[in-house]
Amino acid sequence: MNSHNDYDVYQAIADKVRGGRAIALATIVSAKGSVPRGVGAKMLVDPGEELVGTVGGGCGEGEVIEAAYEVIKTGEPQMVRVDLTEDLLSLSPAVCGGTMEVFVEAISE
């Protein structure tokens, strides 16, 4: 888990866009049940570079990253619904039992 806070993500958006990178921002806009990060948690996806921030580590983050790549290609924002209610007692470290909606959008100058 990294410790990026919101402002770090905003700072990274500004830096990357000024640097001409094609990036996508994912934001948890609603959450029900037990989810690893709450509403407002953010992740910046810059293909080929390290992620900035997180929307939940192992819990559903793969789906969000996939959507981010697509959004960067198409420019069309997406709402990704992540369902983590299955496997409540699974032994995976990514044990979460809720659902969340993640707004994914491309950001450019």
Reference 57, options 33, 89, 92; nearest CA is 92
Give dist(CA 58, CA 51) in Å, integer. Answer: 13
Q: Which residues bind another protein (CB under 8 A)?
A: 5-7, 10-11, 13-14, 17, 25, 27-32, 38-40, 77, 79, 101, 103, 105, 107-109
CB burial string 29-63: b at 16+ within 10 A, e below:
eebeeebbbeeebbbbbbeeeebbbbbbeebbbeb
CB-wise, 17 or 94, nearer to another protein? Answer: 17
CB-wise, 62 or 77, nearer to another protein? Answer: 77
Residue 108 contacts residue 22 (beta carbons within 8 Å): yes
CB of 74 to another protein, least distance (A): 12
CB-wise, 40 or 47, nearer to another protein? Answer: 40
CB of 76 to another protein, least distance (A): 9
CB of 89 to another protein, least distance (A): 15
CB of 8 to another protein, least distance (A): 11
